[in-house]
Amino acid sequence: MSGLARIARRGRPRPNGLTIFGVVTLGCLLFLGVFGPWLPLGDPSRIAAGPRLDAPSAQFLFGTDELGRNFLPRVVQGIRSTFLLSAVAVAITAVIGTLLGMAAGYLGRHTDQIVARGADILFAFPALVAGLLVAAIMGPGQASAITVISIATLPLFIRVVRSVTLGVAGRGFVTAAEVAGASTLRVMLVHLLPNVMGAVIVQLTYALSIGMIIESGLSFLGLGVQPPNASLGSLLRQGSAYLTIAPWMVLSSGVVLSLAIMSVNLVGDAVRDALEPLKGRPLT
């Protein structure tokens, strides 16, 4: 077997148990979040569906809350809200951060200084402080949560994309495109963007987990999703008031949130290994 064949064979990533667990868990949570309203789980907003603060049973798998609402459909609604808000915010941030990062890495000079210093300024604001400022201006709600997640994750995208762009901008095919008269926009979209998309996709998965943590924290503080809607963070806040007499409210939403964040990170690791199969592997 030739050396290149051995490298290709050794570099091909193989899914392990954690990767499979992450993919299956994430798939199940996404299925519940997307199709939850059509599943026979019950109405998440129906009051007095059962006894108040009833323990988990065959009828109410996750028990009931202080208003007698079935807690299982509320957790499913929380999964949908947390995933949706985080995904929308991260998608917006990915587009903006990728464009700014490529502009900083390719144009250099003043553009690089302005973008890099702007990212440093955003890094200086903790998500909690940014959440308080945004909520004071825009009011608590979903729009505020999306804005805070975007502010917190934008510098990460800018730095990653800028770093990759700096390594690609000096290559021969970019120089050839410039000599051929390609515009700056064409060079960035046609020649640079395909080469930074791998880093963007990997960063996208990690930013999603960060966004879920931020969204849950904001909703826990009352700055994110507002009642009667639910997110995993707001359910944690709701259950914390009854922790000693109804611990299942905190345990169910907390375990689901932990599984969601862990599965996203495991899938992100698998994506990184698939895009960079030779990273950290000896070639001899």
Query: What would the DSSP string read from start to end of 222-269?
Result: TSSS-TTS--HHHHHHHHHTTTTT-THHHHHHHHHHHHHHHHHHHHHH
Task: Quote the pLDDT of residue 277.
Answer: 54
Task: For residue 197, give both structure tokens.
Answer: 């998309």
Tell me, what's the pLDDT at 281? Answer: 46
DSSP-assigned letter for residue 77: H
In whole angstroms, what is the distance from residue 261 CA to residue 221 CA?
19
Closest CA to 196 of 165, 174, 166: 165
**pLDDT over 80 (residue 13):** no
Both tokens of 232, joined, read 């995993």
Q: Name the residue with tokens 């809607």.
A: 229
The answer to whether residue 98 scores a pLDDT higher than 50 is yes
Instruction: Report d(CA 247, CA 99) in Å as an integer.
Output: 46
Whether the per-residue pLDDT at 6 is higher than 60: the answer is no
Hey, what are 97's tokens? 């951060």
Share of the chain above pLDDT 90, in %: 34
pTM of structure: 0.84
15-52 CB burial, b ≥16 within 10 A, e <16: eeeebeebeebbeebbebbeebeeeebbebbeeebbee
pLDDT(5) > 80: no
Domain 16-275 falls under CATH 1.10.3720.10 = yes
Domain ranges of the chain: 16-275
249, 256 in Cβ contact below 8 A?
no
What average pLDDT does range 123-133 have in this prediction? 81
How many Cβ atoms from other residues are within 10 Å of residue 225's Cβ?
26
pLDDT of residue 12: 55
Confidence bin at 74 (pLDDT 50/70/90)? very high
